[in-house]
Amino acid sequence: MNIKDSIRTIPDFPKPGIQFRDVTTLFSDAQAFRMAIDLLLHPYAGTPIDKVVALEARGFILGGALAHQLSVGFVPIRKAGKLPGKTLSEDYTLEYGEATMEMHDIAVSPGERVLVVDDLIATGGTCEAGIKLLRRAGAEIVGCAFIIDLPALGGRKLVEALDVNVHTLCEFEGD
């Protein structure tokens, strides 16, 4: 069982030139999904974690399973306008233009230790916005865990430069 082999690549989605790394094939494979959850948590065994925080949208699928496995709470960080209550928000830069990520203001308490999760880290912009939201809320970030790293896009280095531990299960070349 190899995690990387269970991920499908769709060329030119959502636009020409992008190699879309499709984790739905991993999610639909019982053994691959189970193994991915175990491997994502492996470095944090024995480390106190109060909450799992997931980045929209595929991060939610992983985050729910991780939170259940750890018996801790789950917090979503969503794109602007999706969360119903009062939010903290952070703008970040995309390849073309800007976007905003939001988190409920009451979702995390000062001093809580959180694990951040998403399916893939590319430029790291989404994760950086999440880190900023969590730090504004007073959270302590135990680490950021991803199934896939695209090292050519530099996201891991960006997040590590923010003094946050990054854990990934496999890498794909290119962007």
Are the beta carbons of 148 and 173 closer than 8 angstroms? no
Q: Which position among 4, 18, 79, 165 is part of the footprint of ligand AMP (CB under 6 A)?
A: 18
56 and 76 in contact (C-beta within 8 Å)?
A: yes
Is residue 128 part of the annotated active site? The answer reads no
Between CA 78 and CA 145 the distance in angstroms is 17
Told to check if 122 binds ligand AMP by CB under 6 A, we report yes
By CB under 6 A, residue 78 contacts ligand AMP: no
Q: Which of 65, 118, 147, 149 touches ligand AMP (CB under 6 A)?
A: 118
Nearest to 4 by CA among 169, 156, 118, 150: 169
Q: Using CB under 6 A, which of 26, 54, 101, 121 touches ligand AMP?
A: 121
CA distance 163 to 78: 23
Catalytic (active site) residue 58? yes
List interacting residues with ligand AMP (CB under 6 A).
18-21, 55, 58, 118-127, 155
